[in-house]
Amino acid sequence: MSIRSYQPRRRDLASAGRNRILLALLVITIALQMSYPLIHGNALTEVTIFTVIFGAATALFHALTAYGIRYFFTYLVITFSFSMGIEELGLHTGWPFGQYHYSHSLGVHLWGMPLLVPFAWIMLAHPVLVAARRFCTFWTFLYGGLGLMAWDLFLDPQMVEAGRWSWSNASPHVPFQPEIPLSNTFGWLLAGIALMALLNLTLPKSRLKLGLSSQAIDIFIGWTLFAGVIGNLFFFHRPGVAIFSGFIFALVFIPYFLSDALGRPDNAA
């Protein structure tokens, strides 16, 4: 009887390597977010920019390695184009978010909008789409729209307080967010539904045979809830935002996590 040493197949090694890259991108993104309440001034601006860059890179890397090159390029083009279009519409007409404008603190601008903004949409839309597709079949667009709206309830107060953008008229306002109009929340819901419907119709639904799982997506969503609540309670001193936004976010995403815990098949990522 001979004893043969096990040699991992190249495909296994490649998959392990991709997982390490994805984990590294995710860890950097979370580490940058953790540093946010601890710094000020120019360093805070740089952390904001790099958080979006690494967050978008995490989403795009998962999109590529879990779903393939067609998904990657289609997702990138549609999300970038949609976000540019809806933001320009909002800036010039006040619809659907309300009348707002961006400061010059987020880098290069194009037609009044920082080029960083579409990458924030790219960072958010892929995780939300993955969760929506796994949780429901016929109402993916609605669940995804609610997911983007809930995520923004944490994002906007933080960015407005830092002076990244502001509204001309914030009345009537989001509960516990007097600087942000309700029109922005409804705008995110409408824009989110439209984007999720478009992505769901055009992007492949099946995961690559050796593609990455949705674990990184789950961690990112779970971290967002945890960080949003803890950050607003203990660092930003906004308990109302922590409770209200945390409740809405949990209301949207806890059913998704419960469905996983109950053994829902991993259909989409």
pLDDT for the residue numbered 264: 58
φ/ψ (deg, to 5) at 166: -155, 160
- Per the omega criterion (within 30 degrees of 0), is the bond before 172 cis? yes
Spell out, as residue ranges, where the chain has pLDDT lower than 50: 1-6, 266-269
Name the helix (H) or strand (E) containing 145: helix 140-161
pLDDT for the residue numbered 237: 96
Looking up tokens 């806890």 gives 254
C-beta of residue 88 within 8 angstroms of C-beta of residue 113: yes
Strands (E), the chain: 100-102, 109-110, 113-114, 165-167, 173-174, 177-181
pLDDT for the residue numbered 17: 85
pLDDT for the residue numbered 213: 79
Global confidence as pTM: 0.92
pLDDT for the residue numbered 259: 87
How far is the C-alpha of 52 from the C-alpha of 55, rounded, in Å?
5
C-beta of residue 100 within 8 angstroms of C-beta of residue 91: yes
pLDDT for the residue numbered 13: 57
Q: Residue 239's CB: how many other CB atoms inside 10 A? A: 13
Angle between helices 42-67 and 10-35 (to 10 degrees): 160
